[in-house]
Structure 1
Amino acid sequence: MQKNSSSIKSSTDILKQAIQFIGQHNITAIPINYTVSYEYCRGHHVLLRQAIDQAIVNKQPITNEAIQGWFDAFLLGYDLSELNKSHLDLNNIVDQLASTTTQAEEDVNQYDTSLKECKDELNETLDTSSLSSIVSSLLTSTTAMQIAMEQMKQQITASQCEIASLQDRLALVTIEAVTDPLTGLANRKGLSMAINESLSTALQSKNYPCLLLLDIDYFKKINDSFGHLVGDKAIKILADTLKKQLKGKDTAARYGGEEFAILLPETDLQNAWKVGENIRRVVESLRITRSNNHEEVFRMTISIGIARYQANQSINDLIELADNALYQSKNTGRNRVTIFETKL
Structure 2
Amino acid sequence: MSKDNFVLSTGYLKKVVPLLMKYQVSATPTNYALWYTYVADADTDLSKEINESIQATGTLSEVQCDQLYQSHFADKKVKEADDFQQSLQALALEMGNTMQDTLKDTDTFQSTLDKTFSQLARVGEETLSMDETIAVVRSAVKGSNQIRQSTSFFKNQLADAQKEIERLKETLAQANEEALNDALTGLFNRRAFDAELDALASKPPPKGFSLLICDLDHFKSFNDTYGHLMGDQVLKLTAKRLSDYCREGIQAFRYGGEEFAILVPNRQLNGACRVAETIRASIDRLVIKDKKTGKKLDNISMSIGVAQFEKGEKIKSLIGRADALLYEAKSLGRNRVMPIA
TM-score (norm 1): 0.50
Larger radius of gyration: 2
CA distance 1:319–1:177, shift in 2 (3 Å): same
CA distance 1:201–1:24, shift in 2 (3 Å): same
Aligned to 2:49: none
Report deviation, 1:18: 11
CA distance 1:58–1:236, shift in 2 (3 Å): closer
Aligned to 1:285: 285
Give the Cα separation in 1 of the matches to 2:166 and 2:326. Answer: 36
Amino acid at match of 1:184: G
CA distance 1:258–1:64, shift in 2 (3 Å): farther
Aligned to 1:197: 199
Query: In the TM superposition, what whole-angstrom CA distance separates every residue of 1:276-300 from its partner, at most 9, and x where no partner exists?
Result: 1111111111111012243201110
C-alpha contact 2:276 2:304 (8 A) present in aligned 1: yes
CA distance 1:258–1:26, shift in 2 (3 Å): farther
Aligned to 2:251: 251
Give the Cα separation in 2 of the matches to 1:17 and 1:190. Answer: 21
Matched position secondary structure for 1:262: strand
Aligned length: 198
Aligned to 2:330: 330
Report deviation, 1:58: 8.0
Give the Cα separation in 1 of the matches to 2:290 and 2:330. Answer: 27
Give the Cα separation in 2 of the matches to 1:64 and 1:241. Answer: 38
Give the Cα separation in 1 of the matches to 2:164 and 2:340. Answer: 48
Alignment of 1:46-61 (within 5 A): 56=159, 59=162
CA distance 1:21–1:183, shift in 2 (3 Å): closer
Report deviation, 1:339: 2.7
Report deviation, 1:312: 1.9
Give the Cα separation in 1 of the matches to 2:245 and 2:217. Answer: 20
Give the Cα separation in 1 of the matches to 2:189 and 2:300. Answer: 22
CA distance 1:246–1:66, shift in 2 (3 Å): closer
Aligned to 1:215: 215
Alignment of 1:144-159 (within 5 A): none
Give the Cα separation in 2 of the matches to 1:66 and 1:261. Answer: 30
Alignment of 1:177-326 (within 5 A): 177-202=179-204, 205=206, 207-326=207-326
Matched position secondary structure for 1:334: coil
Aligned to 2:165: 62
CA distance 1:275–1:18, shift in 2 (3 Å): closer
C-alpha contact 1:325 1:340 (8 A) present in aligned 2: no
Report deviation, 1:331: 1.6
Give the Cα separation in 2 of the matches to 1:283 and 1:22. Answer: 37
Give the Cα separation in 1 of the matches to 2:286 and 2:167. Answer: 35
Report deviation, 1:190: 1.4
Amino acid at match of 1:245: Y
Give the Cα separation in 1 of the matches to 2:213 and 2:249. Answer: 17
C-alpha contact 1:324 1:340 (8 A) present in aligned 2: no
Aligned to 1:24: 87
Give the Cα separation in 2 of the matches to 1:270 and 1:306. Answer: 9
C-alpha contact 1:214 1:305 (8 A) present in aligned 2: yes
Q: Tell me which of the two structures has the higher relative contact order, counting C-alpha pairs closer than 8 angstroms and 6 or more residues apart.
A: 2
Aligned to 1:160: none
Matched position secondary structure for 1:62: helix
Report deviation, 1:195: 2.0
TM-score (norm 2): 0.50
Query: In the TM superposition, what whole-angstrom CA distance separates every residue of 1:90-143 from its partner, at most 9, and x where no partner exists?
Result: xxxxxxxxxxxxxxxxxxxxxxxxxxxxxxxxxxxxxxxxxxxxxxxxxxxxxx
Amino acid at match of 1:219: F
Amino acid at match of 1:306: V
Query: In the TM superposition, what whole-angstrom CA distance separates every residue of 1:26-45 from its partner, at most 9, and x where no partner exists?
Result: 69xxxxxxxxxxxxxxxxxx
Matched position secondary structure for 1:329: helix
C-alpha contact 2:209 2:263 (8 A) present in aligned 1: yes
Matched position secondary structure for 2:181: coil
Give the Cα separation in 1 of the matches to 2:287 and 2:295. Answer: 9
CA distance 1:63–1:277, shift in 2 (3 Å): farther
Alignment of 1:7-156 (within 5 A): 23-25=86-88, 56=159, 59=162, 62=165, 67=170
Give the Cα separation in 1 of the matches to 2:238 and 2:193. Answer: 17
C-alpha contact 2:84 2:168 (8 A) present in aligned 1: no
Amino acid at match of 2:254: R
